[in-house]
Structure 1
């Protein structure tokens, strides 16, 4: 796995070094207000044009480490930035329990590594090691894993993905 990460970071660097000036080809629905002091500068595009139905916050006696977009099953999900698919996982492989079908993309933006996670997917349209462009369709929304209904769960991680290592995505979205 470390070899794949090193390759992903290398490929993401060449792909995303110019992404800050690239135009956004994905949707940019702005339903929730950003934090007052955005540390990410809005470097990521919204992965789907839909209302945010659950934020990065405490809920149901635990913490929700991402934001949920309320979308019907089959809605196209777009890469938030150019990068390399670090990992894909299905709800039956036992790797990402609770997330259902999931895609993780590694991005290097302005010399810093980020990982975005897209979960509860109905279908995955990319494979590990694949280079993706900002706004490219990478999956379709679903209701897999520990999901209470059709939606797409989105996380942002500074650096590599770690369970419960997400940061609030809102300051990073434009």
Structure 2
């Protein structure tokens, strides 16, 4: 397996140091290293995609143009660079699978339960603080007012790991 794969999209170019594909060559599991400026450009592109209605974009993979989207993205920060691991999914794979997400049922159930629990805890906490006179209605409104950029930044932080090369898919 040749571990080098060249991927170009918008103002980004990625050269992988490790990759493999699924049997149909419609999903690319890639690892790449970038400097701080390249990482910021990549993250800006990811954040831009999150604000778009359509998550697909055109990319050139080893010279072949494809319509793709990013799957999960994880990264690790090192002294002078970042290492990133992600999945690039060809639109044909989603069309073939009727756009079913790859997140398994157990993960989905755990995420849903965790979300519900946190929502209840936060609502109870805010109600208690307001009832005790420690927060006003305006304070609560401000707390709930979360910008798109704040949400997207936190989503990226969730995918940070100590060293991406130790991360199992």
Specify if TM > 0.5: no
Higher RCO (C-alpha under 8 Å, 6+ residues apart): 1
TM-score range, shorter chain: under 0.3
